[in-house]
């Protein structure tokens, strides 16, 4: 493979994307494909520190534009330290969330505007858009039931009200309409095995096209 491939996984809370993302990464390694796995916000030390600031439940006073800028800052650091070197080395980068999270959560759900959030992210990512994005579509109530059922501590964004999570879903739908070539929708209400199978098929087809 001459150039790497950048594949991102997107979805609302409890969409199951993280589980599937890790499955795909391990499956690619088993197939002998040189891949790395990372996640946003975070993925490297500086970005993980920013993640803690954004998601801390103590930070209820955070302004929505501050939040959008922090996500973009975390993305920039992660891009420079992890994503670009891996792509330049010809690897497949599997990333749990990227720019579309900011467009859906900050752009639409926080009412900043998708175009405005795209603008600050353009500065952060310098044209490095994903080659393929899988959007894990599940209805909001089912997703939230899944995360509350896990018994894990909920972060500042998980704790937003139901209306916010519905707006996130609506935002994702708008982003999917904007980028139909890049973003493929997966029915994440199916069994984990079926979701993994659907996701793997799309990923491997895209990798084969790149060879």
In DSSP terms, which residues pair with 95 in a beta bridge? 8, 38
Rounded least distance, CB 105 to ligand TMP, Å: 3
Three-class SS of 72-100: HHHHHHHHHHHHHHHHHCCCEEEEECCHH
Region near ligand TMP per CB under 6 A, out of 79-87, 101-109, 123-131, 201-209: 101-109
**What distance in Å separates the CA atoms of residue 48 and residue 59, rounded to the nearest whole number?**
16
Contact call for residue 16 and ligand TMP (CB under 6 A):
no
Rounded least distance, CB 101 to ligand TMP, Å: 3
Binding test (CB under 6 A) with ligand TMP, winner from 6, 25, 71, 136: 71
Please give the size of the binding site for ligand TMP, defined by CB under 6 A: 11
C-alpha torsion sign, points 168, 169, 170, 176:
positive
| Cβ-closest position to ligand TMP | 105
140-159 footprint of ligand TMP as x/- string (CB under 6 A): -----------------xx-
Contact call for residue 97 and ligand TMP (CB under 6 A):
yes
Contact call for residue 76 and ligand TMP (CB under 6 A):
no
Neighbours of 158 (CB within 10 A): 16
Contact call for residue 38 and ligand TMP (CB under 6 A):
no
Q: Strand runs (DSSP E) across 89-173, as ranges?
A: 92-96, 132-137
CA 176 remoteness from chain centre: 13
Residues that bind ligand TMP (CB under 6 A): 13, 40-41, 71, 97, 101-102, 105-106, 157-158
């Amino acid at each position: 493979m001459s150039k790497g491939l950048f594949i991102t996984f997107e979805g609302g809370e409890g969409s199951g994307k993280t589980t599937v993302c890790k499955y795909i990464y391990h499956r690619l390694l088993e197939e002998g494909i040189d891949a790395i796995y990372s996640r946003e916000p975070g993925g490297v030390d500086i970005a993980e520190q920013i993640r803690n600031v954004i998601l801390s439940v103590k930070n209820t006073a955070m302004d929505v534009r501050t939040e959008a800028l922090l996500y973009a800052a975390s993305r920039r650091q992660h891009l420079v330290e992890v994503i670009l070197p891996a792509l330049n080395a010809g690897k497949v980068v599997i990333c749990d969330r990227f720019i579309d999270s900011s467009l859906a959560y900050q752009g639409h759900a926080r009412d900043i505007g998708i175009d405005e959030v795209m603008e600050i992210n353009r500065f952060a990512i310098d044209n490095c858009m994903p080659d393929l994005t899988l959007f894990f579509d599940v209805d909001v109530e089912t997703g939230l039931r899944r995360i509350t059922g896990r018994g894990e501590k909920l972060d500042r964004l998980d704790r937003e009200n139901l209306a916010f999570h519905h707006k996130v879903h609506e935002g994702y739908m708008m982003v999917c309409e904007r980028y139909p070539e890049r973003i493929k929708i997966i029915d994440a209400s199916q069994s984990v095995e079926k979701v993994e199978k659907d996701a793997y098929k799309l990923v491997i087809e895209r990798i084969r096209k790149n060879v």
